Structure 1
Amino acid sequence: PAAMLPQLPVHALEWLVPGLLREKCIALLKSLPKSIRRQVVPIPDWVDAALETLVPDERPLTEALGEFIRRRTATRVHPDDWRLDLLPPHLIMNVRVVDHAGKTLGQGRDVRALERRFEEAASAGAQALADQASQAPALDELPESPLPESRVTTQAGIRVEAYPALMAEAHSFKVALFDHPAKAAAVHQEGVARLAIAKRPEQVKAIKRLPGVEKCALLFAKVGSKQALVDDLLLAVFTQVVATHPLPRSANELTERLKATESELIPYATSLLTRIEEALKGHLAVTKVLKGKLNFALALVYSDVSAQMQRLVYPGFIRDAGEWLSEYPRYTEAALIRLDKAARERGRDQMMMQDVQALEARFDARRKSERRGAAEDPELVSFGWWIQELRVSLFAQQLGTQMPVSVKRLEKRWEEITSV
């Protein structure tokens, strides 16, 4: 079923079926560079020896073979050494996709491409899952019995694992089913946070009255409303304090969590407001420079910095930024340093800007194609912050970075993320 595509164990599919595994391993070893290939001859004998020790699992087949070669020859095989494009089609698992009624939609050998191609059908399958739960009454509390992590249902005659989550609606909550555990986890975390907000009206009032709220609202005024900022603040506070993993999945578990964390809400909100204020002050300082007298020779630089500021501050940025919010003052200071010296280093700035924008373009495209409802790949999200660190390294190196970064390091990291 299309709804199951996100759940397919992609790497497990690489191991094919037993009757074809040996042939595939031989083809893979033959695809290696000559410098490595000559160390594993005769190739059929090496494959036979490998298959005596290897057991199909969730690892990529190439990783398992590479580790076998490393142990025997002390030669490390890089992921790029495997020429998967040389494999004949019959050595790559073919996947046939059906809709939730069992009608064949298409087939192919690239699971991620199939996901993108049949995203609409997968959504229909997910909707079919949701329809199964739509008869459930509106809730104002988690169920007494813990929500199971997963629930088995049927689509197109196939047992499909669905993932229940508490989903917040306009004025109530409901239990909904999702086709991917990451999506369910993200929805459930927000549901728990919003339910906790509803259950602690006095703390919510106290947070709204904190002196930092008005300051931050004024600094945020050019970006969004005070209400949007306060909603984001509350959701961030209750997510970080109450809706932490393991997430409560029953009424009793949430009650216990609220009791245990009640005294932490106001102190955390106060601390968070301090970080928000610093972040917004830096953002405003950069924005003022951008709105000053424009040097048309630096129009591209100004446009790039403006786009960076929009990536950092927007309605909902507090919760999205999480712990990275503490780094905002450094990011905005780096932007100011860049703007100050851009006229003197225009050529160098443009070269570095092109490197950053190339990474951002790939990041944005991947993020758009990989997004699964409310959930995003955490590795991909982290990569976005790596790009911010790269900006500091390139344009204001004296400020330092959270981790070693360079264009080459990010290129390598990108390969690791996108090869999964």
Structure 2
Amino acid sequence: MKENATLFGLTVFRERPVPLASRDPAEARLMFLEHALVRGEYRTRGAFQEKNRQVFERVARLRDKARRSELLDSEAMLTFFDKRVPADVTDGAGFEVWRRKAEAADPDVLVLSMEDALSHDPGLSPAHYPDALKLHGASVPVTYTFDPSAEDDGITLSVPLLLLAQIGPGELDWTIPGWQREKLTALLEQLPRAQRKQLGPLPDLVDLLAKELEPFRGPMIPALARAVSRLCGVDVSEESFRADAVVPYLRITLRVLDERGKELARGRDVDALLKQHGGHARAALRSAAPASDWERKGLTAWTFGELPAVVTRRIGNLEVRSHPALVDRGATVDLVLLETSAAADAATRTGVRRLLMLAARGHVAVSAARMPPPFPSLDGAPPARGQADAFRALVLARGVDDAFKLAPGAPLPRTKAAFEALLRDGSPRIEQAARDWANAVVVTSAELSKTLAALKAASTGPSGAAAVRDIRSQLGQLFPAKLIEWVPFSRLLHYPRYLRAAQARLARAVANPGKDAGKAAPFTPLWETFLARYATVREQEAAQELRWTFEELRVAIFAPEVTTPVSVTVAKVGAALAALR
């Protein structure tokens, strides 16, 4: 501040500087902190200014990542210096005296940390806007573009071709932690209004989802649909969400790099890029990978020690996670590395079965001699020799799976000790389990032969033609080409009853086609609706169970004397179909 003075009307001095500290020391200190230290208008010999400048640059980059154009929060900086600089420091001279003593005791007393600079904005954290993401154990660089007009506005992941083979569809629908809540909100807002109202306040739901969901662990949309359905008690299908409809910057741009770091492709349609370059990626991974202890051919026994779920190898500059698997080659097993855990588990289940069969070859040989021929062909053609052998091998394999409890989802042995324990427990059960499967196939084949013969006889006349067509279609659904590979044993035991009911229906339809048509009237629309929806429903287990309920409904409607294990009606099946999601 400045002052003027006069004496008897004469000017003594004009605009003479007056130290503010002498009049208002608190205001003088505040002005010094704000102008000298916060705004940087004061130059000091202390190193803290340069260090703080570097912090300011990092904060500016972070704000740019977060798509925030506002300047650094001066309040946070003022708070920082106010806590450290004594109350009696009001100018540069006093500050320098204090600084030298203070820095002698603590060299960083005036050095800002990122936490200090962001103290008034706790939501802005470097961890929320990382420079790299972990994908399948590998660190993938993340770059940021804040330009709504740019094609790569948002984040770009630069993924080596070798890593691309391990990324599955939908896995890159996630985004960085800083935008995760925003993306969840955008996806939920796409839902139909009526359905959205059932979810309650979206901010509260987003809070729950953000805590529960783990980004980049499998595809995002199925995980989101399951979580919303569970948390809200409302059936929300995957198809309700459209990951490609959110604002562009919330969708990842994928940049695919070759072995030398050269860009091969880029774009936001990640699944299309995975399809386009996935085969090349798998081939590149196989050709670039060095020889591994996890790749052995022609194994006939468990001679390889432990079988871990995942191993990590360095290929070039990349740490690649692979999954050891046992692959059934018929008479032997190969130990290989596969790109995904799902592929490795599926292969290993059959590989373990082969090793068990080799180890228990005595029981297996006895059972193999008892395996039945294939089911009669629906078109009457005899099976080829190779098809018959393959069918018998599959029936035997299903018996072995039951003996050793190798159903999908069951734990697999990972050590030699666990394998040998499984071998001891299951070997005595092989012959009985294989016999049970063989008997079920024989009984089913006998009833199928009778049904086919009845259809052939009924086809010679016009009466019952509609029933003949429907039953042929039913048999096509009951006996697909690879039925024996997946049908549960407990379900196969019901097949003879289904076939006897079809035979009874056919006999009645030939005698009274009008009555059969009346019985089919309520059934056919439900069945056709189910077939149209079956492939797209989310609840596949419920859909499969309902599919068998339709077979029971056929029995109840067309041949009630054959009986069903549980009561089943058109109304019950219609309600179950309506509830299917």
> What's the TM-score, normalizing by structure 2?
0.54
Aligned residues of 1:137 and 1:174 also touching (Cα < 8 A)? yes
- Residue type of the partner of 2:236? P
Equivalent residue number for residue 270 of structure 1 = 435
Which structure has the highest helix share of the two? 1
1:14-413 equivalences under 5 Å are: 16-28=175-187, 30-34=189-193, 47=203, 50-51=206-207, 54-55=210-211, 57-58=213-214, 60-61=223-224, 70=232, 77-79=234-236, 84=242, 87-96=246-255, 104-105=264-265, 107-109=267-269, 111=271, 120-121=279-280, 124=283, 127=286, 136-153=296-313, 158-210=318-370, 213=371, 216-217=372-373, 222-223=382-383, 225=385, 226-242=388-404, 244=406, 245-294=410-459, 297-298=465-466, 300-311=469-480, 314=481, 317-323=483-489, 324-337=491-504, 339-340=506-507, 343-344=513-514, 345-346=516-517, 348=521, 350-359=524-533, 362=535, 380=540, 383-384=543-544, 386-394=546-554, 396-397=556-557, 398=560, 399-400=563-564, 406=573, 409-410=576-577, 413=580
**Alpha-carbon displacement from aligned partner over 1:195-225 (angstroms, at most 9, x marks no partner):** 2222223212322345xx4xx3386584565
Q: Distance in 1 between matches of 2:240 and 2:392?
A: 51
For the 8 Å contact 2:326–2:351, the answer to whether it is kept is: yes
Deviation at 1:193, TM superposition (A): 1.3
2:546·2:577 contact (CA, 8 Å) conserved in 1?
yes
The alpha-carbon distance between structure 1 residues 18 and 401, as it changes in their structure 2 partners (threshold 3 A), is: farther
Residue 39 to residue 260, structure 1, CA distance change in 2 (3 Å): closer
Shift of 1:235: 1.3
Larger radius of gyration: 2
- How many Å apart are 1:237 and its aligned residue? 1.9
Equivalent position amino acid for 1:197 in 2: M
Question: How many angstroms apart in 1 are the aligned matches of 2:174 and 2:413?
Answer: 37
Q: Which deviates the most, 289-298 or 174-183?
A: 289-298
- Looking at structure 1, the residues matched to 394 and 368 of structure 2 have their Cα atoms a distance apart, in angstroms, of 12
Q: Give the number of the structure whose residues are more often strand, by fraction.
A: 2
What is the CA–CA distance in structure 1 between the aligned matches of 2:357 and 2:504, rounded to whole Å?
A: 40
Structure 1: distance between partners of 2:265 and 2:373 = 50
Check conservation: 1:126, 1:179, Cα contact below 8 A: no
Q: Is the 8 A contact 1:167 1:191 kept in 2?
A: yes
Contact 2:375 2:445 in 1 (8 A): yes
Equivalent residues of 2:546, 2:576 under 8 A apart: no
Which amino acid is the alignment partner of residue 332 of structure 1?
Answer: L
Worse-superposed segment, 198-207 or 316-325: 316-325
Structure 1 residues 9 and 164: alpha-carbon distance in aligned structure 2, compared to 1, 3 A threshold: farther
Q: Flag the 1:264–1:282 CA change in 2: closer, same or farther, 3 A.
A: same
- In the alignment, the residues of structure 1 paired with residue 252 and residue 400 of structure 2 have an alpha-carbon distance, to the nearest angstrom, of 44
Q: Which has the higher contact order (CA 8 A, sep 6+)?
A: 1
Pair 33,350 (structure 1): closer, same or farther in 2 beyond 3 Å: closer
SS in 1 for 2:488: helix
Q: Indicate conservation of the 8 Å contact 2:373/2:391, yes or no.
A: yes
| Structure 1, gaps ≥5 residues long | 71-75, 367-376, 416-420
Tell whether the 8 Å contact from 1:94 to 1:107 is kept in structure 2 after alignment.
yes
Tell me the amino acid that sits aligned with residue 205 of structure 1: A
Q: Kindly indicate whether the alpha-carbon contact (under 8 Å) linking 1:140 and 1:172 is maintained by their aligned counterparts in 2.
A: yes
Q: Deviations over 1:348-384 (max 9, x none)?
A: 2653553354246x37xx9xxxxxxxxxx9x758845
What is the aligned length?
380
CA contact (8 A) 1:101 1:155 kept: no
Assess, with a 3 A threshold, how the Cα gap between structure 1 residues 185 and 351 changes in structure 2: closer, same or farther.
same
- For residue 393 of structure 2, what is the amino acid of its counterpart? D
Task: Tell me the SS of whatever aligns to 1:163.
Answer: strand
Cα shift readout 1:152-205 (whole Å, capped 9, x = no counterpart): 235685433221111122442220111222221221111121222222232123
The 1:50/1:354 distance shift into structure 2, 3 A limit, reads: closer
Q: Which residue of 1 aligns with 2:65?
A: none
Q: Render the CA deviation track for 1:248-300: whole Å, top value 9, x for unaligned.
A: 23444333322222222222222332222222223222222333341564364
So what's the TM-score if we normalise by structure 1?
0.71
SS in structure 2 at match of 1:282: helix
Is the Cα–Cα contact under 8 Å of residues 98 and 105 in structure 1 kept in the other structure?
yes
Pick closer, same or farther for the CA change 1:336–1:33 going to 2, 3 Å: same
**Secondary structure, aligned partner of 2:327:** strand
RMSD: 4.4
Q: What SS does structure 2 have at the residue aligned with 1:292?
A: helix
Cα separation, 2, equivalents of 1:288 and 1:180: 47
Q: Identify unmatched segments of 5+ residues in structure 2.
A: 1-162, 215-219
Residue 285 and residue 155 in structure 1: after superposition, are their counterparts in 2 closer, same or farther (change >3 A)?
farther
What is the rounded CA distance, in whole Å, between the counterparts of 2:575 and 2:287 in structure 1? 44
